[in-house]
Amino acid sequence: MIATKAYPTTNQTERSMTSTYRWAAGLLFAQFSVFLVAFLVLSSAIDWPASLDNPASQSLPLILQERSAVALGYTAYFLSATMLIPIALLLWQILASESALMRVTAGLGMLAGFAKLLGIGRWLLMMPTLAEQYSATSDPNLRATIEVIYTSFNNYAGGVGEQIGVALFGGLWTAGVALTILRQTTLPRWLGYSGLIAAASVLVSLIELYGISAGPMLTVSGSLWQFWLITLGGMLLRHKSKA
């Protein structure tokens, strides 16, 4: 007797896609909510993100003073970055799993998440220890050494997390998703165009690689990007409710 391969029925496929849409939308909403917690906690405690440019002599005592808030805020930020990885994979399945553009885009989204994790990790693992050592000594030479370590690692990890992760990979991922939306009829075209605007605003912050301060542009571009993500989540839920 010849065994026959069982293929999923239309109803099974539809249920699977509905679940994928819901997971993607849920993660997009969760990512925004957790990031909002991070922003509110860190901005209140250490004037984040403006404090990222503060010298070690200002940042390290403040980190120690607000250690609990820093740990809570950056843990939330770490979780929000982690969610970008499954979000990138789910959007790949929803929009165009066979599209070369979307395959590359999914890879960029995962890289954005991993790079952000590497950058954020410094505030949970390394900086609190440096803050303790800095406050525990009055030796000016040791303090100067700690300041050099702080500045060097902050520039390196910040470049990986904020510039490569958020600005480069995150901006390109957003642009890829937006372009894929414009090439299809699954989601409204205005969502694709607004995604390109959000992507451009994020990519512009790469000017900091050339020593040009992005200043308030970072907050504006980050807010625009986050609002686009939750709008995308809302449209995914709306699309499946109509299907």
b/e string for 202-223 if b means 16 or more Cβ within 10 A?
bbbbbebeeeeebeeebeebbe
pLDDT tens over the chain, length 243 residues: 445 454 455 455 555 668 889 999 999 999 999 999 999 999 999 999 888 889 999 999 999 999 999 999 999 999 999 999 999 999 999 987 678 899 999 999 999 999 999 999 999 999 999 999 999 999 999 999 999 999 999 999 989 999 999 999 999 999 999 999 999 888 999 999 999 999 999 999 888 878 777 777 888 899 999 999 999 999 998 876 555
Residue given tokens 């799993």 in the structure block? 97
- Asked if residue 31 lies in contact with residue 83, where contact means CB atoms within 8 angstroms, the answer is yes
Give the pLDDT of residue 240: 63
Q: Is 38 exposed, middle or buried (0-12, 13-18, 19+ CB in 10 A)?
A: buried
What integer pLDDT is reported at residue 123 of this predicted model? 96
Length of the chain (residues): 243
Q: Measure the CA angle with vertex 39, ends 54 and 230; round to 5°.
A: 135
Q: What is the pTM of this model?
A: 0.88
pLDDT at 8: 54
d(CA 50, CA 64): 18
- What tokens does 87 get? 């979000």
CB 109 within 8 A of CB 87: yes
Residue 7 pLDDT = 45
- pLDDT, residue 115, reads 96
Note the pLDDT of residue 1.
Answer: 45
Instruction: For Cα atoms 181, 103, 166, give the angle at the middle one, nearest 5 degrees.
Output: 75
